[in-house]
Chains A and B, each alone.
Chain A
Amino acid sequence: MMTDSMTAVRPEQQLARNGLYRKIADAEFVATAESAIAASFSADDSSAQSRCALTDMTPVVRGGFRGKASADHLQALGLPIPEKPNQALTTDKGETVLRLSNTEYWLLGSVTDFGQTVADVRSQAMPAADCYPLFCNDSHAWLTLSGEHCAAVMAKLCGVDMRAEVFPSGSIAQTSVARINAIVVSHSVGGKAVFSLLFDTGYHAYMWDVLLDASSEFGGVAAGVTALMVD
């Protein structure tokens, strides 16, 4: 299912190649600003996706800032600032602000505009000192796990308890997932509760296979971004 604002494309035609396009050849791709993202799959099964669904969000724009002045910079641009490290806040439009340390913030773009708002924030003039951009858009891949069994899937792969009662929406864990350093965020994307996993891009295909394999025990499947868009 595609919405009217989406343009179907072949991933090979886009400037930035989708890192998984050979693995997910049965997906229907739509254009983002520079790349292509899987919108849906030919064998989409909504009941399997409600059990556990794995979605590639890597083509959605991300950005980060580090330094003592970065909180003031983001606040001046109208973004909410989480109170403590390892907390996340989501804006009305769907962007998520992650606070990863006392002075480091990441922005995850919204699935509705594929991160255009974050791209605009990144193009704003920066403070003269104590605020430095981080290129997590290029350094990190982004997958989301959604569905009722996603905490059980994470329990197979990482040592941190991610059940909803101890890891509620707005929590962040920087830990090891399937032996890879990763940032796990509990938040909502397009109105659906998800775990976002951010990790080195070199492990993009590896982590996709690991998460699909781990979720298969619970009947989990791959899903496109339209599965995350709750009306």
Chain B
Amino acid sequence: MKIMNCPLNGPRNISEFVYGGEVKQMPDPASCTDKEWAEYVFYHNNGTGVVREWWLHAPSGYWFIAERHRVSGEVSRTYDPSELDQSEFFAAIPAVPEEANS
């Protein structure tokens, strides 16, 4: 079984975790256009590379962020959302050297 490291509970079987979607900024629902709202709710980026995602550790009800490579599925980092400040939250993840991805 795959093992993921929960920042609160430590390494656990992947079956204890629930995927919560990519970390993305919510447009202001009062002022954004319908298209912007639909993009936020329904459309997902289908790229490659490392992305920030929300994950839930179900037995403890704990939400955290994982940085995962969308091709290999490898999780490089997991951390509590409080570790990132607002400006870092939606910023691009620093590129990882090619050999580290292969």
Secondary structure at chain A's binding surface: helix, strand, loop or mixed?
Answer: strand
| A87, chain B: closest CB distance, angstroms | 12
Contacts of B9 in A (CB 8 A): 86, 173-175
A136 contacts B by Cβ under 8 Å: no
Contacts of A101 in B (CB 8 A): 8, 60, 62
A182 contacts B by Cβ under 8 Å: yes
Contacts of A100 in B (CB 8 A): 60
| A132, chain B: closest CB distance, angstroms | 14
| Assembled-state Cα–Cα distance A173/B13 (Å) | 13
The reply to whether A176 and B16 form a contact with Cβ atoms under 8 Å apart is yes
The reply to whether B59 and A181 form a contact with Cβ atoms under 8 Å apart is yes
B-contacting residues, A76-104, CB 8 Å: 85-86, 100-101
Q: How many A-B residue pairs have CB under 8 A?
A: 31
B77 contacts A by Cβ under 8 Å: no
Kindly report which residue of chain A lies nearest to residue B9, judged by CB atoms.
Answer: A174
| Assembled-state Cα–Cα distance A82/B58 (Å) | 23
Chain B interface category by residue count: 10 to 19
B15 contacts A by Cβ under 8 Å: yes
Contacts of A86 in B (CB 8 A): 8-9
B24 contacts A by Cβ under 8 Å: no
| Assembled-state Cα–Cα distance A97/B60 (Å) | 16
| Assembled-state Cα–Cα distance A86/B12 (Å) | 14
Contacts of B16 in A (CB 8 A): 175-176, 181
Kindly report which residue of chain A lies nearest to residue B12, judged by CB atoms.
Answer: A175
A183 contacts B by Cβ under 8 Å: yes
| B82, chain A: closest CB distance, angstroms | 9
The reply to whether A175 and B62 form a contact with Cβ atoms under 8 Å apart is no
Contacts of B8 in A (CB 8 A): 85-86, 101
Contacts of A85 in B (CB 8 A): 8
With contact pairs A86-B8, A101-B8, A159-B12 given, residues A176 and B60 touching in the complex (Cβ less than 8 Å): no
B-contacting residues, A168-186, CB 8 Å: 173-176, 181-183
Contacts of A181 in B (CB 8 A): 16, 58-59
| Assembled-state Cα–Cα distance A175/B14 (Å) | 11
Point out residues on A near B: beta carbons under 8 Å.
85-86, 100-101, 159-160, 173-176, 181-183
Q: Which 8 A-B pairs have the closest CB atoms?
A: A174-B60, A181-B59, A174-B59, A159-B13, A176-B16, A175-B59, A174-B9, A181-B58
Q: A159-B12, A175-B9, A181-B58 are in contact. List 12 more A-B contacts (CB 8 A).
A: A86-B8, A100-B60, A101-B62, A173-B9, A174-B60, A175-B59, A176-B13, A176-B15, A176-B16, A176-B58, A176-B59, A183-B59
Residue contacts A-B, CB under 8 angstroms, 21 given: A86-B8, A86-B9, A101-B62, A159-B1, A159-B12, A159-B13, A160-B12, A174-B9, A174-B57, A174-B59, A175-B12, A175-B16, A175-B59, A176-B13, A176-B15, A176-B16, A176-B58, A181-B16, A181-B58, A183-B59, A183-B60
